[in-house]
Chains A and B, each alone.
Chain A
Amino acid sequence: MKWLLTILILVVYVLHQDYWFWGNRSLVLGFMPVGLAYHAAYAVLVSVMMAILVKFAWPKHLEDTESEFPDSGEVGTHA
């Protein structure tokens, strides 16, 4: 699984370098430059990638971290 996730991250990184749209001036839906539309969709793709990472690579063991330092001491409130 670790390797699959690593490959996923690398693939998404490579997709950021969209040389194929570099000089393309066409419009998507009649108003959105294609290069801009691609990168907007890319942001959604990254969000999906992060959801996959949270699902399969979440550092769950850190959730139960216990405090080992003394309380800094409350001096009172301003309420």
Chain B
Amino acid sequence: MTEVRFHREIYRGTAVDEAVKALAAYATFDLAEEKDHWVVRVSAKDARRERRVAGELGNYALGLTVKARGAR
């Protein structure tokens, strides 16, 4: 299991949610909230796939956050 922590001041919660939905077919996601972070636990069939999905999740969430910020 790989844990990805998205800081609330940097990432939009809606962007993280949307990224999880977009990648739902490639791994199992478990979402949790902490005081400063959105926490996503990624589980896939092997470590290599898990690393890749976790990385793509981070990029997807960051891309959507930047896009949303530019559209303000």
Do A and B belong to a common assembly?
A: no
Interface positions of B (Cβ within 8 A of A): none
